[in-house]
Amino acid sequence: MNQTVDQKQIRRVMLGAAFLMATSAIGPGFLTQTTVFTEQLVANFAFVILISILIDIAAQLNIWRIIAVSGKRAQDIANEVLPGLGYVLALLVVMGGLAFNIGNIGGAGLGANVLFGIDPKTGAIISCLLAIGIFIVKEAGRVMDRFTQILGFVMIALTLYVMFTAQPPYGEAALRTVAPLEMDILAIVTLVGGTVGGYITFAGGHRLIDAGIKGKEYLPVVSKSAVTAIGVASLMRVLLFLAVLGVVSQGLKLNPDNPPASVFQLAAGDIGYKIFGVVMWSAAVTSVVGAAYTSVSFIRSFSTWIDRHAKKFIIGFILVSTLVFVIVGQPVKILVLVGSLNGLILPLALGVMLIAAYKARIVGDYKHPMWLTVLGIITVIAMALMGGYSLINGIPQLFK
């Protein structure tokens, strides 16, 4: 299979995987978190972004390289490390993907409401049909790659415009990137979880092996794709941070009901509000696609029947998410619990990958870089502690 992947196709798949992962990260929660943390920490948030980017790269390089070298999906690697563990990982990812997809569909509905004034539920249904349309066509992988790239560029370009209109203090932001006056550990962990946590990091890793990019010979391509993905998501984060910083530096107050929308509106008036609609819709609908594709990729290897009908399962996943949103809305208690469990996926999966990296029956004669192992272990410990903290705090809220 590897021999049939030509250079042009490799580049297309590499970019497609990078943008699928990046746009999966850039969802409604990404926009809100970045806005709220910038309002709290102002220019000091630049340091938080820098540290989180370094952790993101280390985590993603570890996971993508081991997936590529082994030629197996994460759940199959987990089952080889410890029989049954892959099923636990798959269950956590599918539950998390479904719960977050309900929020993503809601975000798409909100974006459509801002743009066209239609009911958010109607907007959610239209967005659902568009997302399903990608997986109906024969070349679904190629269409998905192109779709996420186009909307990724649209989000970045529009946020860049809003950033310029907000006139942020660039010098102060640059200084605080390396010399912060305050630091927030929780913000760092939240950003890492929002970028490579849950199903997100596997979106690109699984896309690469599904397209035949696997084996030691493709490691340079895989590493480049992994870093590009973090680069795209981080560029969007930096542009949004600067836009928010520009607004709050002028002493303007954000609307607590919808902080990101008020940033765009305060920076660029009514046009800015419409731009927010485009960015929110793009962020949400690409996350819908990424969550559905990746969640189903975690159960494909458990049954040849599921594997044969993977597209139908992806469509069903999107339909179920939309139906829950339209009928129930946001099931808050379920989302709180699954959000808490979601924090455990990255340390569990990354821990499994680090063990797998030293098992010859999984990776052959591949030698994993020691610096990646060390950074990976640090990330596993930090994210496990914060994931546990999130779970302990999340469960009591279910009984309030």
Q: What is the pLDDT of residues 138-178, one digit of tens each?
A: 899 999 999 999 999 999 999 999 999 999 999 999 999 99
Question: 159 lies in a domain?
Answer: yes
Domain assignment present for residue 1? The answer is no
Exposure on the CB side of residue 248, measured as CA atoms within 13 A: 21
Q: 198 or 394: whose pLDDT is higher?
A: 198
Rg (CA), the chain: 20
Output the CA torsion sign for 49, 241, 343, 210. negative
What is the rounded average pLDDT of the residues 327-342?
70
Say if residue 394's pLDDT is above 80.
no
Domain that holds residue 113: 7-399
Average pLDDT of the chain to the nearest whole number: 92
Q: Tell whether 294 is covered by a domain.
A: yes
Residue 96 — φ and ψ, nearest 5°? -65, -45
Pair of tokens at residue 208: 């690469």
For 380-384, the CB contacts below 8 A with 24+ separation are 380/347, 380/350, 380/351, 380/354, 381/347, 382/55, 382/189, 383/189, 383/192, 383/193, 383/197, 383/343, 383/346, 383/347, 383/350, 384/344, 384/347, 384/351
Read off φ and ψ for residue 72, nearest 5 degrees: -120, 155
- In Å, how far from its chain's centre is CA 14? 17
Structure-block tokens of residue 60: 């993603």
Total domain count, the chain: 1
Confidence label for 329 from pLDDT (cuts 50, 70 and 90): confident
Would residue 35 count as lying in a domain? Answer: yes
Sign of CA dihedral 33, 130, 74, 204: negative
pLDDT score for 1: 44
Output DSSP code: residue 137: S
Predicted local confidence at residue 190, as pLDDT: 81
**58-67, 276-285, 361-370, 382-391: lowest mean pLDDT where?**
382-391
SS3 356: helix
Main-chain phi, psi angles of 181, to 5 degrees:
-85, -25
List the single range of 115-129, 194-208, 262-276, 385-399 with lowest mean pLDDT.
385-399
pLDDT single digits (tens) 349-361: 999 999 999 999 9
Q: 289, 67 in Cβ contact below 8 A?
A: no
323: in domain = yes
CA angle at residue 349 from 355 to 46, to 5 degrees? Answer: 115
Return the CATH number at 309: 1.20.1740.10
Taken as a whole, the chain contains a residue count of 400
> Is 2 within the bounds of a domain?
no
Q: Each residue of 31-41: pLDDT tens digit?
A: 998 999 999 99
Residue 161 lies in a domain: yes
Note the pLDDT of residue 382.
86
Flag whether 385 is in a domain: yes
Given a cut of 50, is residue 280 above it in pLDDT? yes
Cα dihedral sign, 10-202-120-248: negative
Would you say residue 3 has pLDDT above 50? no
Distance of CA 76 to the CA centre of its chain: 21
